[in-house]
């Protein structure tokens, strides 16, 4: 198949017939001979997705664009460091040469971050480079993960947050602020390149034996400080459901933003206990002091910048994902959290 970038008539805002052609190609992704590219294959989400792609007979090859090569019989590794200034040209060359049908951009940090500037360079600037390369070669399908935390936690929020909810975020958190910035970039890309089918998945906190993210680190401690008088509702999604949502997006006849959440909700105190820890309710001044102490000691896993999420609920509505994306979670939130105890 010739590279999409070989056709000079495929320009931004060009012939709508060609836009329709690209969209048809994207919806026919599951018909075999599929070439899938993945950034961030070594991260939590990449490790969930790659085994499913390996087992899919319709996936011909997995082009990994990363700094480390994962195992896999279908993997074709291309070393690309998204923090380097020349990453965009390397991505463009690889994607154009391989005539990739779908690109998963999963290069986001979930483990402890010591260098916020480097994290910003990877996630925000790295995403800019990925999107520029995707635009240059006219990728038919682009799949990007995000987090329901981008909605923020506010007293005035409705009981269920649909995808149209403004992204209030959490200004004190690099983790959340960078996700909000990435979403803005993806939305701009989608507006300028309608021939690309863009799917953005906003995941609830992901739990499971293989997960290492801010929430799993928080509940992995014996005692978790919480706010006295507040017990907000939280959601959780099992890592197997998260993997299914990523995999299903490869062939789904859908586009746009989708909340990917498990079944049901849990009060924060119940979530902590299910994970095998004990909540320690503290008045807000003591809570802040406790977080400052553990931060000074270099102990990770306590969300010092995420106080709002300890105050108020932030429950996302998963109905749109069920109706349009066809994703129905298999696990209840309590099962997802309980899986931590078996890790």
DSSP string for 267-311? EHHHHHHHTT-EEEEE-HHHHHHHHHHHHHTT--S--TT-HHHHH
289 — pLDDT class (breaks 50, 70, 90): confident
Residue-wise pLDDT for 153-211, tens only, equals 999 999 999 999 999 999 888 889 999 999 999 999 999 999 999 999 999 999 999 99
Residue 333 near residue 265 (C-beta atoms within 8 A): yes
302 — pLDDT class (breaks 50, 70, 90): low
Residue-wise pLDDT for 72-124, tens only, equals 999 999 999 999 999 999 999 999 888 899 999 999 987 666 677 888 999 99
15 — pLDDT class (breaks 50, 70, 90): very low
As a whole number of angstroms, the distance between CA 44 and CA 69 comes to 14
**For residue 16, pLDDT beyond 50:** no
31 — pLDDT class (breaks 50, 70, 90): low
CA dist 78 → 2, 134, 154 (Å): 20, 16, 43
Please state the rounded mean pLDDT for residues 284-300: 74
**Dihedral-angle region of residue 77 (phi above 0 means left; psi in -120 to 50 means alpha; beta otherwise):** beta
**For residue 248, pLDDT beyond 70:** yes
29 — pLDDT class (breaks 50, 70, 90): very low
95's tokens: 């994607």
**For residue 18, pLDDT beyond 60:** no
pLDDT at position 253, please?
Answer: 95
Q: What's the predicted TM-score (pTM) here? A: 0.88
**For residue 272, pLDDT beyond 50:** yes
228's tokens: 């006295």
As a whole number of angstroms, the distance between CA 76 and CA 98 comes to 10
63's tokens: 């082009």
Other CB atoms within a 10 A radius of the CB of residue 85 amount to 9
Q: Into which CATH architecture does domain 4-212+237-267+315-334 fall?
A: 3-Layer(aba) Sandwich (3.40)
As a whole number of angstroms, the distance between CA 249 and CA 246 comes to 5
**For residue 23, pLDDT beyond 50:** no
pLDDT at position 295, please?
Answer: 64
Residue-wise pLDDT for 43-68, tens only, equals 999 999 999 999 999 999 999 999 99
Please state the rounded mean pLDDT for residues 224-250: 96
Burial of 25 (0-12, 13-18, 19+ CB in 10 A): middle
pLDDT at position 27, please?
Answer: 44
Domain ranges for the chain, please list them: 4-212+237-267+315-334
277's tokens: 């820890």
């Amino acid at each position: 198949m010739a590279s999409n970038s070989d056709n000079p008539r495929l320009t931004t805002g060009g012939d709508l017939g060609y836009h329709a052609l690209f969209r048809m190609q994207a919806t026919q992704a599951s018909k075999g001979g599929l070439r899938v590219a993945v950034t961030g294959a070594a991260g939590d989400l990449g490790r969930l997705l790659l085994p499913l792609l390996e087992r899919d007979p319709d996936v011909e090859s997995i082009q990994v664009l990363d700094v480390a090569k994962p195992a896999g019989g279908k993997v074709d590794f291309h070393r690309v460091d998204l923090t380097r200034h020349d990453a965009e040209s390397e991505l463009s060359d690889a994607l154009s040469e391989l005539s990739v049908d779908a690109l998963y951009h999963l290069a986001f940090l979930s483990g402890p971050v010591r260098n916020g500037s480097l994290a910003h360079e990877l996630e925000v600037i790295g995403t800019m480079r990925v999107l520029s390369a995707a635009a240059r070669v006219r990728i038919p399908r682009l799949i990007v993960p995000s987090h329901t935390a981008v909605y923020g936690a506010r007293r005035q929020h409705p009981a269920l947050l649909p995808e149209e909810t403004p992204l209030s975020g959490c200004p004190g958190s690099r983790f959340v602020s960078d996700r909000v910035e990435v979403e803005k970039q993806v939305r701009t890309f989608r507006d300028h390149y309608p021939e690309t089918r863009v799917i953005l998945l906003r995941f609830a906190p992901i739990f499971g034996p293989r997960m290492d993210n801010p929430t799993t680190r928080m509940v992995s401690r014996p005692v978790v400080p919480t706010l006295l008088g507040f017990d907000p509702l939280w959601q959780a999604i099992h890592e197997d459901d998260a993997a299914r949502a990523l995999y299903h997006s490869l062939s789904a006849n859908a586009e746009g933003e989708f909340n990917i959440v498990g079944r049901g909700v849990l009060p924060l105190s119940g979530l902590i206990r299910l994970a095998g820890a004990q909540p320690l309710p503290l008045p807000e001044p003591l809570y802040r002091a406790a977080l400052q102490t553990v931060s000074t000691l270099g102990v990770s896993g306590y969300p010092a910048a995420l106080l709002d999420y300890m105050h108020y609920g932030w429950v996302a509505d998963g109905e749109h994902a069920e109706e349009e994306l066809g994703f129905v979670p298999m696990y209840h939130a309590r099962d997802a959290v309980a899986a931590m105890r078996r890790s």
